[in-house]
Amino acid sequence: MKKKISLFTPCYNEEGNVRQLYERVTEIMQGLPDYDYEYVLIDNCSTDRTPEILRGIAAHDSRVKVIFNLRNFGPSRSGSYGFFQTTGDCSICFACDFQDPPELIPEFIRHWEEGSKVVWGQKDGSDENRLMYGVRCMYYKTIKAMASTEQYENVTGFGLYDREVMDLLRKYAGPTPNFRNMIPEFGYPVYFVKYHQPVRKVGKSSYTLFRYINMALNDMVNTSRLPLRFATFIGAIVAGCAIFAAVYYLILKLRFWDSYDLGTATMIIGMFFIGAVQLFSIGILGEYISEILERMNKKPMVIERERLNFDEDEVPDGDGSRKD
């Protein structure tokens, strides 16, 4: 019996890419006749012609399975949910914009057959804006330095996951899982396939500066407790400085009672400085509390509007568990 390869791509306003990507993936998989495969795509409530194109592809090819979300649930929730609907012996995820080269699929499968449970693409360069690439590299290094578990640089989660790993991801995923952080936590060794990242083929990324910042903060909260300890450390230093300054000024005032003036400026500067440290510490604490609340809220990753070409007996439940 042939092994089944699951391929997965999340989509949002990708009318210029999705058909070309499907044709490229189909050509690659036709070159791997020893495997059966399915191609799962999830549309995050696109506002262009992407849903129409996906319907046409699914009508033509029964191996293409499509999920349409009721609304835009964000790239993390939608992408994770769609990926959890795959049913193969291994699952490979890649973006729709061709920045994750589908040509690496055969190499991913080869290393999986050699025994690797997780095979990731790792960027050794990029054609994107140099400033943005530099910021990304600095972000990866920062997360790696702060994290309590091993973190890997220049990886996005693009790659192959064995079914055993997928079952664990489904079981322990939170409302906004980050596979890049969860795999090191599980302890699976990762095989890296180097590649040079091309620019987006067509269209514009839906990621904004705010989304990048939000993703960075989520990674920081999920991988490290260092910010909390940093806030505690800074608070202790500021408290010590404040006590020292208070004693110093008290001594000066007692010694030069008539001639020494404490000064309004000194008091205001000290007050604002301590207030800023307090707000900074509260902000850090708020990020962790927000993550706790997010995990406590019982809500689905997404609500489906429609799905195409899925067989009822092979589809995982919406919470990520498998029926079979």
pLDDT of 221: 67
pTM of the model: 0.75
pLDDT at 229 (0 to 100): 67
Is residue 123 predicted with pLDDT exceeding 70?
A: yes
Q: Which residue has the higher pLDDT, 23 or 140?
A: 23
DSSP 53-102: HHHHHHHH-TTEEEEEESS---HHHHHHHHHTT--SSEEEE--TTSSS-G
Query: Rounded CA gap, 281 and 196, in Å?
Result: 39
Q: What is the DSSP letter of 258?
A: T
Instruction: Tell me what pLDDT residue 124 has.
Output: 87
Note the pLDDT tens digit of each residue in 174-230: 777 788 888 888 889 999 999 998 887 776 666 665 666 666 666 666 666 667 667
Is the pLDDT higher at 118 or at 220?
118
Give whole-number Cα distances, 188 to 5, 19, 143, 183, 304, in Å. 20, 34, 19, 6, 32
Q: What is the pLDDT of residue 45?
A: 94
In the predicted model, is pLDDT for residue 53 greater than 70? yes
pLDDT in tens, 61-74: 999 999 999 999 98
Q: Give 68's strand partners.
A: 43, 306
Beta bridge partners of 7: 39, 92
What are the angstrom distances between the C-alpha of 167 and each of 40, 41, 42, 181, 317? 17, 19, 19, 16, 12
Which residue's entry shows tokens 């980050």? 178
* Mean predicted confidence (pLDDT) in 163-177: 86
Mean pLDDT of 88-102: 94
What's the CA dihedral at 45, 287, 175, 117 to 10 degrees? Answer: 110
Identify the three-state secondary structure at position 245: helix
- Does 162 score more than 70 pLDDT? yes
The pLDDT value recorded for residue 276 is 72
